[in-house]
């Protein structure tokens, strides 16, 4: 008996053949698309005639390929005029404090910046407002336009995403403009890190007695993802004097306001905890240079913030230490000791400053820590 006498056998054979051919075609098409994407990307990098717009569209295409089942945000930042190299460096410094390892930027000389973000849409409100505020100080008299668009909500093609962002930032004005293509994000709310158990009753943050274990887990997670991590330790200068002059109740109110100010300046994914009686520890998913920018920003904001409106005499000054890879590597305790060394150095130098850890700051003995820093 041959196979023709069994129609069911022929049907199964044909079905398997069609499935195999379809699978091979899908693999070939997918490989071709990936090859073209990689080739176009490399050509754009090496082609001296490729424009910034070409390269940014290719990066948009690459991100679309990476997030076919997800979403991301794209933005363009455009000053009202071409910047000098020094001014462009200030822009880079501001962006460095906001970008995380999963984000990306592409500069067009000193005229435009293309930015790609992997963050919640609600968080772009705080991010955008912080960028415009900081650029207002870094570029006095130079308005900027910053626009955000979502994939796939606003567009599913790189050409359309690029077009709507270009249109949104094309207008010039005598003041900076923040634009959201499509529906604006909801108001962002600052959250302490998710945790189990009681939080600090004053600040709502993770308390000091449970902070180190939490930070150990955060560091382990960053290592698994091959993400950078930096630690920022901030403390109030001369807190004992502040408490003596204004009282315990005023001090608690200052700590509460200060924690809110810090929460508004960091990503929701960057945990912040209490540290000791007068300190706050931030673990930021960024390189130490970005952490330095963030720490300086917080120190400056605290100095100009009006704490306790009824008391005009109260002005708060902070000191901060910063560390991260490559200055430090190893267990969480190594990072935490190093960032404390940097903070003590800042205080020894008079306070009211941010210091980045250097190996020369290493204290030989634990008892060398000052017990009274006031």
Residues 249 and 164 in one domain: no
Residues 61 and 133 in one domain: yes
Which residue, among 328, 322, 326, 325, has the nearest Cα to 354 in the 3D structure?
322
Residues 213 and 349 in one domain: yes
> Using 50, 70 and 90 to split pLDDT, how confident is the model at 27?
low
Q: Give the mean model confidence (pLDDT) for residues 193-198.
A: 56
Residues 156 and 242 in one domain: no
Helices (H), 190-331: 208-224, 239-246, 248-263, 288-304
What is the token pair recorded at 29?
A: 């098409």
Q: Can you give the pLDDT at residue 363?
A: 63
Which residue, 160, 180, 200, sits at the end of a domain?
180
Percent of the chain with pLDDT over 70: 80
Per the domain annotation, does 373 fall within a domain?
Answer: no
Per the domain annotation, does 13 fall within a domain?
Answer: no
Per the domain annotation, does 167 fall within a domain?
Answer: yes
Q: Give the mean model confidence (pLDDT) for residues 16-42.
A: 59
Per the domain annotation, does 28 fall within a domain?
Answer: no
What does the mean pLDDT of the chain come to?
83
Per the domain annotation, does 360 fall within a domain?
Answer: yes
Residues 232 and 355 in one domain: yes
105 pLDDT more than 50? yes
Percent of the chain with pLDDT over 90: 46
| Range of weakest confidence among 5-19, 28-42, 43-57 | 28-42
Domain at 98, CATH number = 3.30.70.270
- pTM score, whole prediction: 0.75
Q: Can you give the pLDDT at residue 16?
A: 73
> Using 50, 70 and 90 to split pLDDT, how confident is the model at 307?
confident
Cis peptide before 112 (omega within 30 of 0): no
* Rounded-to-integer distance, Cα 117 and Cα 76, Å: 11
Residues 235 and 338 in one domain: yes
* Rounded-to-integer distance, Cα 73 and Cα 209, Å: 37
Range of the domain at 90: 50-180
Choice between 252 and 232, residue whose per-residue pLDDT is larger: 232
Q: Can you give the pLDDT at residue 191?
A: 53
CA-to-CA dists, residue 344 to 120, 248, 319, 362, angstroms: 36, 25, 9, 10
23 pLDDT more than 70? no
pLDDT in tens, 321-340: 999 987 888 888 899 999 99
> Using 50, 70 and 90 to split pLDDT, how confident is the model at 36?
low
pLDDT in tens, 199-222: 888 899 999 888 888 898 888 888
Per the domain annotation, does 195 fall within a domain?
Answer: no
Residues 150 and 220 in one domain: no
Per the domain annotation, does 91 fall within a domain?
Answer: yes
Residues 176 and 212 in one domain: no
- Most confident option among 22-26, 243-247, 263-267, 360-364: 263-267
Q: Can you give the pLDDT at residue 189?
A: 57
pLDDT in tens, 135-186: 999 999 999 999 999 999 988 899 999 999 999 998 777 889 999 998 888 7
> Using 50, 70 and 90 to split pLDDT, how confident is the model at 299?
very high
Domain count, the chain: 2
* Rounded-to-integer distance, Cα 13 and Cα 20, Å: 11
Q: Contact at 8 Å (CB) between 155 and 161?
A: yes
Residues 132 and 242 in one domain: no
Residues 231 and 364 in one domain: yes
34 pLDDT more than 70? no
Residues 144 and 214 in one domain: no
Residues 175 and 290 in one domain: no
CA triplet 199, 201, 205: central angle to 5 degrees? 45
Per the domain annotation, does 57 fall within a domain?
Answer: yes
Which residue, 180, 200, 216, sits at the end of a domain?
180
Q: Can you give the pLDDT at residue 24?
A: 66
Residue holding tokens 């997800």? 70
What is the token pair recorded at 66?
A: 């990476």
Choice between 35 and 172, residue whose per-residue pLDDT is larger: 172
44 pLDDT more than 70? no
pLDDT in tens, 46-93: 566 789 999 999 999 999 988 776 789 999 999 999 999 999 999 999
Q: Can you give the pLDDT at residue 43?
A: 47
């Amino acid at each position: 008996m041959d196979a023709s006498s069994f129609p069911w056998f022929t049907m199964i054979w044909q079905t398997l053949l069609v499935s195999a051919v379809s699978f091979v075609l899908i693999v070939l098409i997918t490989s071709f698309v990936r090859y073209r994407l990689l080739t176009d990307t490399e050509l754009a990098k090496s082609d001296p005639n490729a424009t910034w717009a070409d390269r940014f569209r290719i990066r948009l295409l690459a991100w679309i390929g990476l997030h076919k089942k997800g979403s991301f945000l794209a933005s363009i930042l455009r000053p009202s005029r071409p910047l000098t190299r020094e001014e462009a460096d200030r822009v880079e410094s501001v962006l460095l404090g906001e970008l995380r390892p999963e984000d990306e930027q592409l500069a067009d000389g000193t005229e435009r910046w293309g930015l790609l973000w992997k963050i919640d849409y609600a968080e772009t409100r705080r991010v955008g407002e912080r960028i415009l505020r900081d650029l207002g100080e870094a570029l006095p008299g130079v308005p900027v336009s910053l626009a955000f668009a979502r994939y796939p909500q606003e567009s599913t093609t790189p050409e359309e995403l690029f077009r709507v962002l270009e249109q949104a930032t094309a207008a010039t004005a005598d003041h900076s403009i923040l634009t959201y293509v499509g529906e604006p994000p909801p108001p962002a709310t600052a959250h302490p890190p998710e945790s189990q158990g009681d939080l600090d009753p004053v600040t709502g943050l993770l308390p000091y007695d449970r902070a180190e274990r939490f930070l150990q887990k955060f560091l382990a997670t960053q290592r698994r993802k091959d993400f950078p991590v930096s630690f920022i330790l901030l403390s109030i200068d001369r807190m004992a004097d502040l408490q003596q002059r204004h009282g315990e109740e005023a001090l608690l109110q200052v700590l509460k306001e200060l924690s809110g100010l810090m929460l508004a300046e960091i990503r929701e994914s960057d945990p912040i905890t209490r540290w000791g009686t007068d300190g706050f520890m931030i673990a930021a998913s960024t390189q130490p240079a970005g952490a330095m920018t963030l720490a300086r920003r917080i120190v400056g904001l605290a100095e100009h913030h009006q704490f306790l409106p009824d008391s005009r005499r109260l002005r708060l000054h902070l000191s901060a230490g910063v560390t991260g890879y490559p200055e430090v590597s190893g267990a969480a305790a190594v990072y935490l000791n190093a960032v404390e060394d940097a903070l003590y150095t800042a205080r020894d130098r008079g306070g009211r400053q941010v210091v980045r850890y250097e190996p020369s700051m290493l204290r030989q003995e634990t008892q060398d820590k000052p017990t009274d820093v006031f």
